[in-house]
Amino acid sequence: MEVSTAEAKNRLTELIRLVEDGERVTITRHGKAVAQLGPPPAAKKRKVILGGMRGRIKLLPGWDEPITEEELLGDDSGR
């Protein structure tokens, strides 16, 4: 389906519904195609690999020791 830019502006909601139903819509300016409405690309699914980061992350000794609120907030006004 082809529509002019002015027509696309006035009928955008309807054109989006057509695209949802599988139609491709070409938008033209002065009879020349300038854009195309179509469905979004299929979502890429990444395969989850359990333990994929093993050996890449190292926690230093003391990483889980409690800290004060001042340390957390970076409050160095007392120095």
User: What are the extents of the domains in the chain?
Assistant: 2-37
Closest CA to 30 of 5, 8, 11: 5
pLDDT of residue 77: 58
pLDDT of residue 78: 54
* pLDDT surpassing 60 at residue 79: no
Closest CA to 38 of 17, 20, 24: 24
* pLDDT surpassing 90 at residue 76: no
d(CA 18, CA 25): 8
pLDDT of residue 6: 95
List phi, psi (to 5°) of 70: -65, -40
pLDDT tens for 5-64 read 999 999 999 999 999 999 999 999 999 999 999 998 888 888 888 888 888 888 889 999
- The neighbour count for residue 27, using CB atoms within 10 Å, is 19
